[in-house]
Structure 1
Amino acid sequence: MADQPRVRVLVRQNCHLCEEAIAVITAVCAETGDQWTADDVDADPDLVRRYTDQVPVTFVDGAQHDFWRVDPDRLRAALA
């Protein structure tokens, strides 16, 4: 599990909230040393069906953590 990214964010192209979420995730993970990954929600029909109205959607250790906005303090706490 150590090689797996702890944070996953579902994003889509041309999404300003996605860009903001990625900026927060990048900064927090740089502080904590955790890895993260981003996946295009529109590349998977099941993800579109499940999350299209919530993008960006953030997961920590496989569990949904946030959607629309990422609070840096809440993300730090989840990674602690």
Structure 2
Amino acid sequence: MLETSSKAVGQFVRQRRQASNLTQEQLGELAGVGTRFVSDLERGKATLRMDAVNRVLHVFGRMLGHVEAPRDEGE
């Protein structure tokens, strides 16, 4: 499920970036992240850097919140 969510976030970021006429480099500068991070995010690469994902999403007035995941009973 994380992969699907990562892809959905990536598609959102790419669509909003292009609609805003921003390059990946410009978006990275606005969000305080590197161009490589923006590229990976747009391609749906899963990341644990949620702080950085939220900095990118903040440029477009969005933010990911806390998501409760069920724990395995064996843990």
Instruction: Place the TM-score, normalised by the shorter chain, in its bin.
Output: 0.3 to 0.5
TM-score (norm 2): 0.38
Q: Which has the larger radius of gyration?
A: 2
Richer in helix (by share): 2
Larger RCO, structure (CA 8 Å, separation 6 or more):
1
TM-score (norm 1): 0.36
